[in-house]
Amino acid sequence: DFAGVGVAVPDSLQTYRVWQVKQMGANGWRTAHNPPTPALLDECDKQGMLVWDENHRNLDSDDMIEDLRSLILRDRNRPS
């Protein structure tokens, strides 16, 4: 996404990232494989972007169930 930053996007860039996607006409953000940062979710809340908070942990193990439970408890009741 950003030269010199790579995938470790600083929280300060989330405002720009969400704004840029909205400028392209999108109204939703799909996360994939890993939970999004709280900063991304906060910015999506501020800018009115719908978030599909996705988890690709499809195994039925105690660790995977706990990861999903944590994701739901952390990100529930957000406007986005």
Residue 20: count of CB within 10 angstroms of its CB: 12
Q: Residue 46 — pLDDT band, cuts 50, 70, 90?
A: very high
| Strand partners for 59 | none
pTM: 0.79
Per-residue pLDDT at 28: 95
Average pLDDT over residues 3-27: 85
Residue 65: count of CB within 10 angstroms of its CB: 12
CA-CA-CA-CA torsion sign (20, 21, 25, 27): negative
- Tokens 């010199």 — which residue? 4
Per-residue pLDDT at 4: 65
pLDDT above 90: residue 64:
no
Per-residue pLDDT at 10: 83
Per-residue pLDDT at 48: 94
